[in-house]
Amino acid sequence: MLEMLQYDFMRNAFAAAAVVAIVAGTVGYFLVLRGQTFAGHALAHVGFTGATGAVLLGIAPIWGMVLATVAAGIGMGFMGERLAQRDVAIGLVLALALGLGLLFLHFFTAFATQATTLLFGNVLAVDMRTVWVLLALGSVSLATLAVISRPLLFASLHPELAEAKGVSLRLYSVLFLAIVALATAECAQIVGVLLVFALMVGPAAAAQRLTSAMAAGVLLSAVLALLEAWSGIALAYYTDWPSSFWITALSAAVYLIATLPRPMGRFASAAPR
Amino acid sequence: MNAVELRDVSLTLGGRTILAGIGLDIAMGEFVGVLGPNGSGKTTLMRAILGLVPPSRGSIHVLGQPATRGNPAIGYMPQARHFASDLRLSGRDFVASVSNGHRLGLPVRGRIARAEMEQALRLVGAQELARRPLAELSGGERQRLLLAQALIGKPQLLLLDEPLISLDPHRQQEVVDLVKTLKADLGIAVLFSAHDVNSLLGAIDKVLYLGSGQAALGTIDEVITGPVLSRLYGSHIDVVRVGGRIFVMSGSCCAETEEHRHEPAPADRQPRHSGHA
């Protein structure tokens, strides 16, 4: 079991996945609570444009991704929740972002590998430096989230009341989407831009099914994300199948199990209708 | 000191005058039913009292102070029930997110905040049901939680915007009785908007009837009369009392119940009982 930890790339993979999963699970909980999961998905696609643009300019893709997602997140926040939840607008932006990314790659020679890595992730190729970058970015997003979490929850659950009490809905929408953007850029390093949903939304949605207490839900979401990411990497090591496949499969399976009707007993009240 | 004082207040929204030159006093501890056709300004008036809609003319005072946004002495239950009915969060967490919600930091609740929340839940009889996820509550039960939420922060004035919408008559009566008890126990003033005066009979002290930019405040007998309502509706209105109920008739149809037609009451979902039903 521990022999896989002999390799540097495996140790890096586990470390990177741990950082990203905890950030994604925590941020994802609020994303699901606010009903903005699709916005998170779109941000990942914008990240693809940023990453390919950065490659074209000779910069590390992660910085292009961070820049593009954060800019798009702030933009979405300013446009207001009404637009951020309008699926036609988001869907078009999403397609345009992928199309632009494709164009940028067209000008770049190492087309195929770069594209696959960005789209589907390759956690086994993460180096130590990237782990540190992920840790720094993750700390920034979690610290910011911690500072704004109370008014963010108030604004998410009671928007009209929050407005009446002098809380700026727009400010928290912008700040939160900027945090989501950072988390998305991180996630994309592990599972790629197309599969960010697996780490950001899957564990959070499952956790909300399993417990209705908020503090327990956030914790469970982060733990589930961590277990899914680590198990995915371990399974990839033994099967030689892509880790991103395993992570998405585990994420879907855990969500499915969480939504199953409970057996009788004290959880009977949680049965779906 | 009055709970609410309006002096020659005009409210405009997007160039449209909603209320023109209104003056009224609502005393402390008064339970006022706010009635009027759709678009007559019931919600706008509440938002003005909250300081969210500045009057284009005149002045609004709340508990002796000019109306300002963020007034902690006002408890508010908005009409647009934003929160999705599929929210898996517990009622307790939902209500708790209100306390000190405007302050930065982690949503950790101190002893005082917890005691205040339990007190609010107890007042509306929701201590048990607050354990369950919102998605599993009926409309009436969710209404109780929203009422609890409005009580956090020890308000002196409650603004309840259409708390009866989408509730069946039995649940409507429960909510009205609950508010009446709260008003008596806490001695606070209540503005309660509704479509049908009959649901509020026996509970309210006064009626505030809005229409055609004007307002009439007084007891039910003073306000719900043919001449007063004809002025507010801008057309001939008859008021008919049958068997202790009041029907506001415009021509041959019922003006007040007409308002309900656009709101096909989605049946109050039956609560799921967890064994101890």
The mean pLDDT of B53-81, rounded to a whole number, is: 89
Whether pLDDT at A85 is above 90: no
Point out the least confidently predicted range of A246-255, B164-173, B206-215: B164-173
Structural domain count, chain B: 1
Q: At what angle are helices A214-239 and A202-210 packed, to 10 degrees? A: 130
The mean pLDDT of A226-253, rounded to a whole number, is: 94
Q: Which helix (H) or strand (E) holds A145?
A: helix A128-157
For B34, the token pair is 């706010």
Q: How far is B249 from chain A (nearest CA, A)?
A: 34
Contact B152, B75 (CB under 8 A): yes
CB contacts, 8 Å: A155 with chain B: 101
pLDDT for the residue numbered B275 = 37
Contact A5, A58 (CB under 8 A): no
pLDDT for the residue numbered A272 = 41
Which of B88, B103, B149 lies closest to A212 in CB terms? B88
Residues ≥6 apart with Cβ < 8 Å to B115 = none
Q: Is the pTM of this model over 0.90?
A: no
Whether pLDDT at A140 is above 60: yes
Is B275 within a domain? no
Q: How far is B51 from chain A (nearest CA, A)?
A: 8
Task: Say which amino acid occupies A145.
Answer: L
pLDDT for the residue numbered A143 = 97
User: Could you give phi then psi for residue B251, rounded to 5 degrees?
Assistant: 65, -115
Whether pLDDT at A250 is above 60: yes
CATH of the domain at B71: 3.40.50.300
Contact A263, A249 (CB under 8 A): no
Is B274 within a domain? no
> From B271, which residue of chain A is nearest by alpha-carbon distance?
A269
pLDDT band at A1 (very low <50, low <70, confident <90, very high): low
Is B271 within a domain? no
Can you tell me the distance from the alpha carbon of A219 to that of A217, in angstroms, rounded to the nearest whole number?
A: 5
Is B272 within a domain? no
For B205, the token pair is 């002290």
pLDDT band at A257 (very low <50, low <70, confident <90, very high): very high
In chain A, what percentage of residues exceed pLDDT 70?
91
pLDDT in tens, A65-82: 999 999 988 888 887 656
Residues of B with CB under 8 A from a CB of A: 47, 50-52, 69-70, 72, 74, 76, 78, 80, 82-84, 87-90, 93-94, 97-98, 100-107, 132-133, 136, 149, 272-275
Whether pLDDT at B97 is above 90: no
pLDDT in tens, B186-228: 899 999 999 888 989 988 999 999 988 888 899 988 888 888 8
Is B268 within a domain? no
pLDDT for the residue numbered A269 = 43
Residue A29 CA, chain-centre distance (Å), reads 10
Whether pLDDT at A268 is above 50: no
Question: Residue B82 and residue A159: Cβ atoms within 8 Å?
Answer: yes
Question: Residue B102 and residue A165: Cβ atoms within 8 Å?
Answer: yes
Can you tell me the distance from the alpha carbon of B63 to that of B66, in angstroms, rounded to the nearest whole number?
A: 8
**Number of neighbouring beta carbons within 10 Å of residue A3:** 8
The mean pLDDT of A260-270, rounded to a whole number, is: 54
- Domains of chain A and any CATH numbers: 2-259 (1.10.3470.10)
Average pLDDT, chain A: 87
Secondary structure letter of residue B273 according to DSSP: P
pLDDT band at B240 (very low <50, low <70, confident <90, very high): confident
> From B87, which residue of chain A is nearest by alpha-carbon distance?
A33
Please report where in the chains the tokens 């929210």 appear, as a residue.
Answer: B87
pLDDT in tens, B99-152: 888 888 888 888 888 888 898 899 888 888 889 988 888 888 888 888 898 998
pLDDT band at A246 (very low <50, low <70, confident <90, very high): very high
Q: Indicate the SS3 state at residue B202.
A: coil
pLDDT band at B260 (very low <50, low <70, confident <90, very high): very low
Is B276 within a domain? no
pLDDT for the residue numbered B48 = 94
Whether pLDDT at A25 is above 90: yes
H helices of B25-70, in order, are 42-49
Which of B89, B105, B132 lies closest to A214 in CB terms? B89
Whether pLDDT at A229 is above 90: yes
pLDDT for the residue numbered A265 = 40
Is B6 within a domain? yes
Question: Residue A147 and residue B105: Cβ atoms within 8 Å?
Answer: yes
> From B70, which residue of chain A is nearest by alpha-carbon distance?
A165
pLDDT band at A271 (very low <50, low <70, confident <90, very high): very low
pLDDT band at B273 (very low <50, low <70, confident <90, very high): very low
The mean pLDDT of A166-195, rounded to a whole number, is: 90
For B143, the token pair is 């209404």
pLDDT in tens, B32-66: 999 988 888 999 999 999 999 999 999 999 999 99
Contact B92, B126 (CB under 8 A): no
Whether pLDDT at B266 is above 50: no
Range of the structural domain that residue B82 is part of: 2-258
In chain B, what percentage of residues exceed pLDDT 70?
88
Task: Say which amino acid occupies A127.
Answer: D
Which of B80, B90, B104 lies closest to A212 in CB terms? B90
Task: Say which amino acid occupies B187.
Answer: G
- Which residue did the predictor score with more confidence, A143 or B68? A143
Question: Residue B106 and residue A146: Cβ atoms within 8 Å?
Answer: yes
User: Could you give phi then psi for residue A164, rounded to 5 degrees?
Assistant: -65, -30
Question: Residue B98 and residue A214: Cβ atoms within 8 Å?
Answer: no
Top mean pLDDT of A37-41, A91-95, A166-170, B162-166 is at A166-170
Which of A150, A159, A164 lies closest to B106 in CB terms? A150
* Mutation target among B93, B160, B161, B272 for the A interface, most CBs of A within 10 A: B93
Is B266 within a domain? no
In chain B, what percentage of residues exceed pLDDT 90?
30
**B266 exposed, middle or buried (CB, 10 Å; 0-12, 13-18, 19+)?**
exposed
What ipTM describes this predicted complex? Answer: 0.81
Which of A151, A212, A268 lies closest to B102 in CB terms? A151
Average pLDDT, chain B: 84
CB contacts, 8 Å: A258 with chain B: none
Whether pLDDT at B269 is above 70: no
Question: Residue B97 and residue A157: Cβ atoms within 8 Å?
Answer: yes
Whether pLDDT at B250 is above 90: no
Whether pLDDT at A221 is above 50: yes
Q: How far is B251 from chain A (nearest CA, A)?
A: 38
Which of A150, A159, A212 lies closest to B89 in CB terms? A212
Whether pLDDT at B26 is above 90: yes
pLDDT band at B256 (very low <50, low <70, confident <90, very high): low
The mean pLDDT of A94-102, rounded to a whole number, is: 86
3-state secondary structure A19-33: HHHHHHHHHHHHHHH
